[in-house]
Amino acid sequence: MTPKNLFSWRPFWAKRFGTAPFLPMNRAEMDVLGWDSCDIVLVTGDAYVDHPSFGMAIVGRLLEAQGFRVGIIAQPDWSSAKAFQALGAPNLFWGVTAGNMDSMVNRYTADRRIRHNDSYTPNDEGDKRPDRATIVYAQRCREAYKDIPIVIGGIEASLRRIAHYDYWSDKIRRSILVDSKADILLYGNAERAIVEVAHRVAKGETPKDMFDVRGVALMAAKLPDGWRELDMSDPDIEHPRMVGDNIAVRLPGYKAVQDEPLLYAQASRVLHQESNASNANGLIQDQGGRDVFLSAPPIPLSTPEMDGVFALPYARSPHPDYGDARIPAWEMIRFSVNIMRGCFGGCSFCSITEHEGRVVQNRSEDSIIKEIEDIRDKVKGFTGQISDLGGPTANMYRMACKDDKIQATCRRLSCVYPSICVNLNTDHNPLISLYRRARTLPGVKKISIASGLRYDLAVKSPTYVKELVEHHVGGYLKIAPEHTEEGPLSKMMKPGIGTYDRFKQMFDQAAQKAGKKYYLIPYFIAAHPGTSDEDMMNLAMWLKRQGLRADQVQTFLPSPMSLSTAMYHSERNPLKAVHRESGERVVTAKGLKQRRLHKAFLRYHDANNWPIIREALKKMGRADLIGPSKKHLVPAWQPKGTGHQGSGEGTRTGRKHGEQKFFTQQAGEGRRRGNGNTKGLGISSGPAEGRKSSRGPKRPKSPNR
């Protein structure tokens, strides 16, 4: 299974035009380049930053390297098709994405209020993208030029490629391919697919017929010739797994998962089992009279291909049209370097694995060093500080299965849960070598590690922990135990708190030996499926014993297609076999009051949360935890002017000597989570979905009121 090299395609004829300083966003720029038209026009919900941390920049520069003329329409006014005609009709196709983040997570706070800011927009301005932006943009593209094929991709499309639970509307939605009426959907990291689709469209092929491209979703009246179907739509009927090429596994259909939540868990289980690019089958799912067909996942990029993608001629800055405007997401990553993709951790709440895959794709050390030198020499404002050297995790660089044959047949959802696989190479030496080489570069004063650390891997390498503490920590280090109790941890596929304790001991000893005062910043999730009130109480007591105070916390938000979302919606555990009369049921905090309580336990020190905690402790028969001493969780008295909010977001209280403040977030799409119900939000649907009102966006009613 050796794919065509990403850079071995014969360039399209327009390569003669050369490289653009920035991909054009208007006709004047096209004129300067000598273009009469664009071959491909990319539409994105983010500002255009020509940097490899922004998906549209990668796609645009990669297609440019293939010889195509690529234009970008960034954050268009979606109230009509006019803004989508700015560059004229593309000769080949539209490429549409919501941006680097899911548009719903981007636009709504944890309690479903519309955000007034957007980190991917100039000057952090909000309301520059619609709800479900991929659908809306695709509709406007069709209105602008109805006969031009539409290709959708990015994380929003990737996580909605099958029928999925939508937390914001509290219902099952069809595949986004159906609702957007696009011709083809590319899921995951789609470099291979977008390059192949572009060259084949240039030769006259139709995207709707490209069933042989990996990593795509298409509408299918029937299976392609030569394909066989394996029906896994009924969890109570056992089928032996078929082995061979051109097999499509049938998932429970849209109406079935809509009517029976258990079948949603079954669909989620099967989809995640078919995620190893080395042995995955295709998938097929009825969408209410029509099928959506998913080809097998894309084959990961090789190291030379990854190097080639990151070596493309990025300007490494926002488009000049933005002038001096601040783009917070750009400011955050302008001095950071991505060294890898993918994650084999398999955390059930996280979208990284579902989008980037479980195989870690690595850049070479030389490629990474070259990017650091480019930052030093070319990026305005560099002071010698590299803000991060990482990726989805800080320390999976060059880790992989020890045996290619085992990797080719493996169907584990995680290489590190319930324990680290004996076949996993956990050697940190390549990463240590990279750190040492990078920090000795002339002009580089400090290299920080800001990506989340996988501490169950780090404890395997005392040398790595020592290296990290002595040279790459600046006072605090982020770490994500997520919980202390086995119930929720088993549903998250996270290691027990004992592993955190071992890492903390190693970290503290290394810091003490280095003569430095460093602290761990632990993250925790409130109200994750499998979490009881008692679990949150125990976590709160653990925090108090540790002298830790969460300054900001978030509540689990069911993002589309994750295993945790399947647990939340179905109250079944898709990590195990799903059956109607058996199978594990999952306790789930769905009511607003209970979700607020779970969040309040994480901020046990906030006096505004004491009334709701006291009430819960009494109902749980744990009134013994109410009192004035250190062994108690909350006092019996209430400070004047507090106790009215009860949301975990109230006024801050003083911090006693020896207690440590920390900040928590959640992994996945920007690590944002939410709570509350979705009724009354006025989220539109149908042909006019996403159209602006002349009065501006409707503000959803806050569930806190």
The 10s digit of each residue's pLDDT in 456-509 is 999 999 999 999 999 999 888 888 999 999 999 999 999 999 999 999 999 999
Dist. CA 135–CA 156, nearest whole Å: 10
Consecutive sets of 10 residues in the chain, 705 residues long: mean pLDDT of each? 92 97 98 98 98 96 98 97 98 97 86 86 95 98 97 97 94 98 96 98 97 97 92 89 87 97 97 94 95 96 98 97 96 96 94 88 98 95 96 96 94 95 97 98 96 95 97 89 96 96 96 92 93 98 92 84 96 95 93 92 96 97 96 95 57 38 34 28 28 31 27
Domain end marker among 262, 289, 316: 289
Let me know if residue 658 belongs to a domain. no
Peptide bond into 261 cis (omega under 30): no
Both 159 and 252 in a single domain? Answer: no
The predicted structure's pLDDT at residue 1 = 67
**For residue 169, is it within any domain?**
yes
Tell me whether residue 23 is in a domain: yes
In a domain, 29, yes or no: yes
Is residue 242 located within the same domain as residue 211? no
Domain end among 221, 238, 272: 221
39 touches 94 (CB < 8 A) = no
Q: Concatenated DSSP letters for 191-236?
A: HHHHHHHHHHHHTT--GGG-TTSTTEEEEESSPPTT-EEEE---TT
How many residues in the chain?
A: 705
The reply to whether 103 and 123 lie within a common domain is: yes
**169 φ/ψ angles, rounded to the nearest 5 degrees:** -105, -5
pTM above 0.85, yes or no: yes
pLDDT of res. 644: 61
The span from the CA of 357 to the CA of 300, in Å, is 8
**Residue 181 and residue 36 share a domain:** yes
Exposed e or buried b for every residue in 499-526, given b needs 16+ CB within 10 A?
A: bbeebbebbeebbeeeeeebbbbbbbbb
Give the 3-state DSSP-derived string for 97-152, with helices as H, strands as E and coil as C. ECCCCCHHHHHECCCCCECCECCCCHHHECCCCCCCHHHHHHHHHHHHCCCCCEEE
Query: What single letter denotes the amino acid at residue 345?
Result: G
What ranges make up the beta strands (E) of 287-412? 291-294, 317-318, 336-338, 340-341, 361-362, 385-386, 388-390
Residue 91 shares a structural domain with residue 63 = yes
pLDDT confidence of residue 697? 31
CB 355 within 8 A of CB 155: yes
Task: Report yes or no: 283 and 227 within 8 Å, Cβ to Cβ.
Answer: no
Question: Exposure pattern of 82-108 as b/e (b: 16+ CB <10 Å)?
Answer: eebbebbebbbbbbbbbbbbbbbbbbb
Euclidean distance between CA atoms 94 and 42, whole angstroms: 6
> What region does 127 belong to: left with phi over 0, alpha with psi -120 to 50, or beta?
left
Query: Is 97 a domain residue?
Result: yes
**217 and 242, same domain (yes or no):** no
Taking alpha carbons only, the member of 484, 499, 457 closest to residue 545 is 484
126 and 237 inside one domain: no
Is there a domain that residue 647 lies in?
Answer: no
Domain membership flag for residue 298? no
Specify whether 280 is located in the same domain as 179: no
Clarify whether residues 266 and 138 are in a common domain.
Answer: no
CA dist 117 and 128 (Å) reads 9
CB 72 within 8 A of CB 60: yes
- The Cα–Cα gap between 424 and 429 comes to 15
Q: Which two tokens stand for residue 204?
A: 């006259």
Phi, then psi, of 209 in degrees rounded to 5: -105, 5
3-state DSSP assignment of residue 296: coil
Q: State how far the Cα of 156 lies from the Cα of 58, in Å rounded to an integer.
A: 17
* Domain CATH for 99: 3.40.50.280
Q: What pLDDT is attached to residue 5?
A: 97
Whole-angstrom distance, CA of residue 318 vs CA of residue 14? 25
List % helix, strand, coil for the chain (3-state, nearest 5).
35, 15, 55
The amino acid present at 347, given as its one-letter code, is C
**89 shares a domain with 151:** yes
Cβ atoms within 10 Å, residue 162:
28
Residue 587 Cα distances to 262, 413, 530, 558, 570, angstroms: 14, 22, 5, 15, 10
3-class DSSP assignment, residue 415: coil
Same domain for 50 and 178?
Answer: yes
270-279 pLDDT per residue, tens: 999 999 999 9
pLDDT value at position 554?
81
Give the count of domains, the chain.
2
Q: What's phi and psi for 564, nearest 5 deg? A: -65, -35
Last residue of a domain, one of 221, 246, 266: 221
Note whether 123 and 52 are same-domain residues: yes
Centre a 10 Å sphere on the Cβ of residue 247 and count the other Cβ atoms it contains: 19
Q: Which residues contact 122 (CB under 8 A, 6 or more apart)?
A: 47, 318, 322, 325, 326, 327
Look up the domain containing 265 and give its range.
Answer: 223-289
Spatial CA neighbour of 178 closest among 609, 553, 685 = 685
In a domain, 494, yes or no: no
Query: Which amino acid is located at 230 in the chain?
Result: L
Helix axes 261-273, 563-570, angle to 10 degrees: 170
